[in-house]
């Protein structure tokens, strides 16, 4: 049996049995000369098309997919011969309008000022109306891999098997790398949310990352939970980096909160809560909730949606909210993630 066929059958069997372990994307060439791609969790037709320099319609036509057809992990897609195949992103062009700045353009397209300069051979930030700037397409979102059998038991009484360490990144600072071990989906969801916020807010400072779990889980000094790789502590964003940060968390009272960036982080986690293995809840001080609530209202988020997210302004004991008040959480977010689907060892 060909290796690529075996991989596909194994992935489909794992999906059916509920013990899905997702590997890196697989692309192979068939004897008929057609390239194939094996779908992983987090893929979309758009992201696959962008990666191969194709259009979504090209992929649908080559694979006889109608609009609305589900895209399941383990599915093998034919990759048609497309113009620009092999590029990781497709170029776009922005025509500079009066009042535009490089920072505003970068924020609009989810890139950075440095990347705009490099792509357009700019020596400084000077741009003029009518100038055409080349902009690489925003990178595809990081995939979220669901691995059964890692998070064992409960966050307050459990362990971690074959966990993964949150990797080093310029976007965040791990205060204690030796306690930055978690389930794969926790690490992936966290990196994805932080990356999204950085693309929306170019030039953000590094986010302080607290503890997840020890390499094998179990009791972690200073915590009543964090035992099964599904809890993570993250600092807040500030308009000016406070003294001691990110090596230590800093309460809002001792720094000027960047409420917009912090709200975007909470909002990214809230949207991810709709996905398998996504965040289940966030613990955050009630007064800090109020500051984020105000920014979200100004951004046009409906009251109905905010009532699902925050306890504020209904009282710190309001029930069934995604963000919940817990004392001593005025300097960080404590995010707890759900179990992967069909994982009987995780509770």
**pTM for this predicted structure:** 0.64
> Alpha-carbon distance 77 to 75, whole Å?
6
> Alpha-carbon distance 11 to 8, whole Å?
5
> Alpha-carbon distance 113 to 127, whole Å?
12
Tokens at 237, concatenated: 């964003």
Tell me if 282 sits within 8 A of 333, measured CB to CB. yes
What is the pLDDT at residue 142? 77
What is the pLDDT at residue 274? 93
Compute mean pLDDT per 10 residues along the chain, 347 residues long, and list them: 46 40 38 66 69 75 83 83 46 82 76 78 89 70 88 98 92 96 96 92 94 97 97 98 97 95 96 95 98 94 94 96 97 98 95
Q: Which of 38, 41, 48 is nearest to 8 (CA)?
A: 38
Pairing of the two strands 172-174 and 207-209:
parallel
What is the pLDDT at residue 23? 34
């Amino acid at each position: 049996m060909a290796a690529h066929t075996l991989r596909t059958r194994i992935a489909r069997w794992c999906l059916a049995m509920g013990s899905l372990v997702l590997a890196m994307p697989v692309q192979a060439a068939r004897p008929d000369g057609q390239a194939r791609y094996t779908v992983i969790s987090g893929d979309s037709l758009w992201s696959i098309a962008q990666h191969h320099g194709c259009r979504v319609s090209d992929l649908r036509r080559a694979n006889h997919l109608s609009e609305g057809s589900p895209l399941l992990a383990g599915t093998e897609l034919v990759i048609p011969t497309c113009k620009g195949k092999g590029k990781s992103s497709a170029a776009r062009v922005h025509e500079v309008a009066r009042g535009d700045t490089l920072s505003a353009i970068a924020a609009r397209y989810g890139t950075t000022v440095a990347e705009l300069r490099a792509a357009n051979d700019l020596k400084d930030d000077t741009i003029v109306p009518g100038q055409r700037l080349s902009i690489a397409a925003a990178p595809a979102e990081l995939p979220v891999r669901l691995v059964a059998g890692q998070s064992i038991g409960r966050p307050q009484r459990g362990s971690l098997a074959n966990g993964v360490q949150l990797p080093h990144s310029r976007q965040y600072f791990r205060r204690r790398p030796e306690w930055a071990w978690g389930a794969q989906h926790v690490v992936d969801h966290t990196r994805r949310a932080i990356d999204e916020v950085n693309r929306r807010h170019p030039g953000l400072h590094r986010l302080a990352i607290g503890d997840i779990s020890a390499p094998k889980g179990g009791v972690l000094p200073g915590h009543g939970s964090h035992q099964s790789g599904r809890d993570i502590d993250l600092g807040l964003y500030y308009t000016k980096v406070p003294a001691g940060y990110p090596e230590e968390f800093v309460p809002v009272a001792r720094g000027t909160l960047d409420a917009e960036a912090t709200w975007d982080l909470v909002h990214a986690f809230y949207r991810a809560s709709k996905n398998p293995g996504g965040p289940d809840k966030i613990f955050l001080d009630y007064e800090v909730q109020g500051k984020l609530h105000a920014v979200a209202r100004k951004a046009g988020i409906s009251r109905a949606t905010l009532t699902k997210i925050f306890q504020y302004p209904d009282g710190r004991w309001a029930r069934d909210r995604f963000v919940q008040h817990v004392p001593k959480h005025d300097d960080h977010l404590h995010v707890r993630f759900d179990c992967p689907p069909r994982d009987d060892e995780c509770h």
